[in-house]
Structure 1
Amino acid sequence: MASKTLNDWQQRAQSLKIEGRAFIDGAYVNAASGQTFDCISPIDGRLLTPVAECGEADINAAVAAARRAFNQGVWAGLNPRARKAVMHKFADLLRANLDELALLETLDMGKPIGDSTTVDIPGAAYCVQWYGEAIDKIGGEIAPADHHLVGLVDRVPVGVVAAVVPWNFPILMASWKFAPALAAGNSVVLKPSEKSPLTAIRVAALAKEAGIPDGVFNVVPGGGAAGKLLALHMDVDCLAFTGSTAVGKQIMQCAGQSNLKRVWLELGGKSANIVLPDCPDMERAARSAAGAIFFNMGEMCTAGSRLLVHRSIKDAFLEKVREAAKAYTPGHPLDPATNMGAIVDGIQLERVLSYIAIGKGEAKLLTGGERAEPVSGGHYVQPTMFDCPTGKERVACEEIFGPVLSVITFDTVEEAIRIANDSDYGLAAAVWTGDLTCAHDTARQLRAGTVWVNCYDEGGDMNFPFGGFKQSGNGRDKSLHALEKYTELRSTLVRLR
């Protein structure tokens, strides 16, 4: 079958039925207040659908349904193999509906359809399958004890898990929360970003079709008020959040003001990508440097937004990066040939443009720096690079969440490590070198949750824990370690005599 064209995707979009209601206790429902908000496509500014604006009554209903389902054991009480079978069917349904989900993701968030079809939806399905497979593989412990005792240690589901997820990878980031939470036996209340709620709403019906019982998987669209209601809710046992550091701090405060619910945070980043003179492949390093900041329009918490280049190779290397950046010229997100789509909405567009304006006043513009308009009415920005003479410029220190790269020059490895670690964040970092000893020594000193050597943003499977140091958050998504977030340890001691 021939691959789809821009026209094919546009025709499919015209006939697409879009659901905008909340999903509570196994059914789509309007917000109790009747209120909605407009879901606008960043591609061209057109209205996609009104979406339910969930308020206190809706949050309470979703949490109550989740609690009832958990207490009744309709999901947590199933045998492990039974839950595993449902999770596998859920993953199969995500794959079976790939085109629809990818189209929703692109229309809603603006990312290229080529990424939605090959990264976001397949990645979410893989995540659900991976954690489904783990369900009957994880056991407990028999702890050493006095001979008149048997000591058991097991992990039990925490209960009701609220997942508040971001707009940059809407369903992929959501799956990193709800898949391990469901695998551990919890009930879930998912609050997608108001900027990109459509795939989460649609996926709720697929969860039910797969066999996940009513009340176990709920979706409550809404803005920050809905997230705060979940953070303050006395019957939510755990809240997992991905988003800005500022909002993460507020969520932790809400947990302290309410029931001390477990809070897990994956927050901002200003990741350093270090290129040393003995880099074994300058061409690949340059392509990776461009991809590290321009993929997904730079709307990535792990974006390699600080490019640290040794002075001796700076000019030649930056020329290669500028050339590689040409592959990210903004285009129509529904065109399979497009590598850079739209910024998610007008608010984020203005934020990015304001930082570019700041950068023009404090650094040297190397490329880009302007708004683009491949589609009338949409939100697009050229891939932009600044040469930052001190590394203290705002564009070099503050998270922009857009396609803006800050280049910083260094003279020694020690200086590069110091610059890389001189940040409030510690999510990711990379180093390019042909010296194995230098690679290990540098990786050990970089204060980041993920360090890549001679690559960037690789390792897309689920085996590696993902999260950050410092103000990039706590806890880890992905890997078996994520199950620790959604379970409690329980010790059971049995006296034999």
Structure 2
Amino acid sequence: MAELKTELKTYDMYINGEWTASSSGEYFPSYNPATGEAWSKVAKGTAEDVNRAVEAAHQAFVNSEWTHMTYTNRGKLVRRLGELIAENVDELAQYETIDNGKLIREMRGQLNYLPEFFYYYAGLADKIHGYTLPMDKQDMFAFTTREPLGVVAAITPWNSPLYLTTLKLAPALVAGNTIVIKPSEMTSASLLELMKLVEEAGFPPGVVNVVTGFGEPVGETLTAHPLVRRVAFTGGAESARHVVRNTANNFAQLSLELGGKSPNIVFEDANPDNAAMGIIAGIFGASGQSCVAGSRAFLHVDIYDQVMERLVDRVSKITIGDPLSDSTEMGPLATEAQLKRVADYVNIGKEEGGKVIVGGEKPEHLDKGWYFEPTIFEHTDNNARITKEEIFGPVLSVIPFKDEAEVIELANSTEYALAAGIWASDIAKAHRVAKAIKAGIVWVNTYRSISPIAPIGGSGLSGYGRESGFDAIYEYTQSKVVWVNTSSEAIPDPFIMR
């Protein structure tokens, strides 16, 4: 694999099929989390840039080649984009790793699978249909169709930029919409590299646009824009509240994929080796920077010691270091602010009486970058802040339980409801608990499995709406009903009484 040059790069925005600087001419730095040093500079978007992008997307929707393209041909374009991603996995993976610190081997795996999402939605493009209605009026025939909404605004976070953009981009396009994407100001590079492939795939100008910059003014202007018909947001609850308020201006449809405080429940009949590995994958994969991170582990008292022994042994041996190295098992946190947040929460946990049995510090052998050790708190109080509030880092709280009813109550004692894991040999029990747990995603004897076929989403502070799966098609289309009078008789004068 060719070495990627990492000298300071310059990234412009992608609007109406062209690479363009900000109207202000300003740029802001993007930092490599492994070194803490700037590696690129990105165009600092303005409200004027947002208006240009939304207008370009609107024109592409109402009066362009895209408007008149068949659904089948739209699907072919989306499939071609997936094929181009498959051809450029190594390069995209390196850009994402340098920009947000995720492991290169994790990114290769994720990006090798990412084309499947484009292939799945490409296959659905010409299968978005309505149905006929069995009317109660003899001379009336009625049917429904599903139509695109118009301009979609996608707001994506810094933890998995390409994957979380794909969940919005692929269904929005096959449904016939156009899109304006605002990536996180922390991690814009990999998405802008993807735009080169969008261009190569042959999408008409204005169909896909990217405006880079900060929440104010870019995010605010975009989500409140009068031409935006839908906002798809992934991020934190506080930012989501701003988005909700902004859409009060344009009445745009809205989906929110937010955070979680997901429970990983291990029953006494579980395989302790599998459960331990599943817990580790759920919280220490991606350095805990995942919306579905299994940050609370509930272990049945009869298996507690067995699982804890395995957890402590493996977690204490996790190799922390350069995310571009194939030998590294856990990389840095994505931002300096996130490093401080994690460290602060660990201190809070200690002050609340929590016992750290693994980690809890910055690694001594790494003098650069935003690294933090994988950390386990044992016998944590379920009402402690570290078990109630989302940390979004490599911090696990472990809590014992005695029976099924108790763990259901403990697991549901949160305002979040995104994901959960259940480890048990008794499948009947697994089904009962899966039904009782408040979560949009429940994994049984596995964790963090994804597929383009399966929907993603939660409720409460975890947001609302669904991404991925066929459900997403309904999020990006609207229903229309058509009535047809089949009678051969003249329509009577409505003002003559009979």
TM more than 0.5? yes
CA contact (8 A) 1:149 1:496 kept: yes
Aligned to 1:56: 47
What is the identity, as a one-letter code, of the residue corresponding to 1:492? Answer: V
Per-residue deviation, 1:456: 1.3
Select which of 217, 222, 244 maps to 1:252. Answer: 244
SS in 1 for 2:24: coil
Aligned to 2:359: 368
Q: 4+ residue stretches of structure 1 with deviation over 3 A?
A: 15-19, 373-376
Aligned to 2:495: none
Aligned to 1:113: 104
Aligned to 2:129: 139
Matches within 5 A, 1:199-218: 199-218=190-209
CA contact (8 A) 1:294 1:328 kept: no
2:400 counterpart of 1:406:
no
Query: Aligned pair in 2 of structure 1 residues 122, 373: CA closer, same or farther (>3 Å)?
Result: farther
Aligned to 2:225: 233
Aligned to 2:211: 220
SS in 1 for 2:66: coil
Query: Aligned pair in 2 of structure 1 residues 374, 23: CA closer, same or farther (>3 Å)?
Result: farther
Cα separation, 2, equivalents of 1:267 and 1:68:
31
2:55 counterpart of 1:42:
no
Query: Aligned pair in 2 of structure 1 residues 202, 187: CA closer, same or farther (>3 Å)?
Result: same
Aligned to 1:25: 16
CA contact (8 A) 1:170 1:196 kept: yes
Cα separation, 2, equivalents of 1:316 and 1:204:
49
Q: Percent identity?
A: 37
Per-residue deviation, 1:389: 3.8
What is the identity, as a one-letter code, of the residue corresponding to 1:355? Answer: Y
2:312 counterpart of 1:322:
yes
Select which of 146, 149, 153 maps to 1:162. Answer: 153
Cα separation, 2, equivalents of 1:24 and 1:373:
45
Residue segments in structure 1 that go unaligned for 5+ positions in a row = none
CA contact (8 A) 1:238 1:262 kept: yes
CA contact (8 A) 2:22 2:49 kept: yes
Query: Aligned pair in 2 of structure 1 residues 437, 197: CA closer, same or farther (>3 Å)?
Result: same
Decide which moves more: 237-246 or 140-149. Answer: 140-149
Query: Aligned pair in 2 of structure 1 residues 374, 158: CA closer, same or farther (>3 Å)?
Result: farther
Query: Aligned pair in 2 of structure 1 residues 15, 224: CA closer, same or farther (>3 Å)?
Result: closer
Per-residue deviation, 1:346: 0.6
Per-residue deviation, 1:338: 1.3
Aligned to 1:283: 273
Select which of 257, 268, 272 maps to 2:259. Answer: 268
Aligned to 1:180: 171
Deviation by residue 1:91-134 (Cα, 9 ceiling, x = unmatched) = 11111111111110000000110011111x22332212211111
Aligned to 1:467: 457
2:356 counterpart of 1:356:
no
CA contact (8 A) 1:123 1:172 kept: no
Query: Aligned pair in 2 of structure 1 residues 373, 209: CA closer, same or farther (>3 Å)?
Result: farther
What is the identity, as a one-letter code, of the residue corresponding to 2:56? Answer: A
Structure with max Cα Rg = 2
CA contact (8 A) 1:373 1:379 kept: no
Per-residue deviation, 1:327: 5.1
Cα separation, 2, equivalents of 1:375 and 1:331:
7
CA contact (8 A) 1:164 1:239 kept: yes
Decide which moves more: 370-379 or 282-291. Answer: 370-379
Aligned to 1:435: 426
Residue segments in structure 2 that go unaligned for 5+ positions in a row = 488-498
SS in 1 for 2:126: coil
What is the identity, as a one-letter code, of the residue corresponding to 1:311? Answer: V
Matches within 5 A, 1:123-138: 123-138=113-128
Select which of 425, 444, 452 maps to 2:443. Answer: 452
SS in 2 for 1:54: coil
Per-residue deviation, 1:374: 5.3
2:327 counterpart of 1:333:
no
2:71 counterpart of 1:83:
no
Select which of 479, 486, 492 maps to 1:496. Answer: 486
Matched pairs, number:
484
Per-residue deviation, 1:369: 0.4
Select which of 195, 198, 217 maps to 2:189. Answer: 198
Cα separation, 1, equivalents of 2:31 and 2:203:
30
What is the identity, as a one-letter code, of the residue corresponding to 1:367? Answer: V
SS in 2 for 1:492: strand
CA contact (8 A) 1:325 1:383 kept: yes
SS in 2 for 1:429: strand
Deviation by residue 1:248-283 (Cα, 9 ceiling, x = unmatched) = 122111111x1111111001100001111111x110
CA contact (8 A) 1:272 1:430 kept: yes
Cα separation, 2, equivalents of 1:373 and 1:481:
47
2:478 counterpart of 1:484:
no
CA contact (8 A) 1:42 1:344 kept: yes
What is the identity, as a one-letter code, of the residue corresponding to 1:177? Answer: K
Cα separation, 1, equivalents of 2:229 and 2:128:
22
Deviation by residue 1:173-192 (Cα, 9 ceiling, x = unmatched) = 00001110011000000111
Query: Aligned pair in 2 of structure 1 residues 136, 346: CA closer, same or farther (>3 Å)?
Result: same
SS in 1 for 2:452: coil
Cα separation, 1, equivalents of 2:239 and 2:380:
31
Query: Aligned pair in 2 of structure 1 residues 82, 262: CA closer, same or farther (>3 Å)?
Result: same
Query: Aligned pair in 2 of structure 1 residues 173, 373: CA closer, same or farther (>3 Å)?
Result: farther
Decide which moves more: 45-54 or 262-271. Answer: 45-54
Per-residue deviation, 1:73: 4.3
Cα separation, 2, equivalents of 1:396 and 1:455:
22
What is the identity, as a one-letter code, of the residue corresponding to 1:426? Answer: A
Aligned to 1:102: 93
CA contact (8 A) 1:21 1:28 kept: yes
Output the TM-score relative to the length of structure 1: 0.95
Cα separation, 2, equivalents of 1:117 and 1:166:
19
Per-residue deviation, 1:171: 0.5
Decide which moves more: 323-332 or 405-414. Answer: 323-332
Query: Aligned pair in 2 of structure 1 residues 411, 356: CA closer, same or farther (>3 Å)?
Result: same
Cα separation, 2, equivalents of 1:44 and 1:348:
15
